[in-house]
Structure 1
């Protein structure tokens, strides 16, 4: 018998996204409601976008990675917590030396 308290839960929303028509979005989270940190592909994409630019706004990053600005801001917060990026002003981020080193370790 498996321990269902550790099983992931999928939340489905039929809310209308701000940048698209009516749709359904799914988000997998842990039972306690926390969302697991982003995967390596998204980390690589965000870090590359920051590596290609100087101080970059969340809206510019969101456009570059084709994601909603709120999602992008949340992922930037996670990368900042990990020390890979630094916020230079409200909603503007830059890649740190640690982030550049980490980006070099990520493979396609």
Structure 2
């Protein structure tokens, strides 16, 4: 009998990292549907990144945080403040499923 624990660990970690990136990209896509939109600069600045077992979704404009946090601002229909927080909470289960699917594939 051969023990391949190190290989299994490597495959599982790689799958988890990929799942995290795919999950972050999913949240980014969901947030782009509700991010405040005037000229599209804020929407285009959105990125999903992953490093190790950490993933992030961010928007990179000087006013991104302001738009996210200010609940008193007016936005076009379907667009809203909390454009990251809302989709992240709404898509939490789906992100978990994406990560789990990558782990299953890697460990079959």
Which TM-score applies when normalising by structure 1? 0.27
User: Which structure: greater helix fraction?
Assistant: 2
Normalised TM-score (structure 2): 0.27
Q: Of the two structures, which has the highest relative contact order with CA contacts closer than 8 Å and spacing of 6 or more?
A: 2
Larger Rg: 2
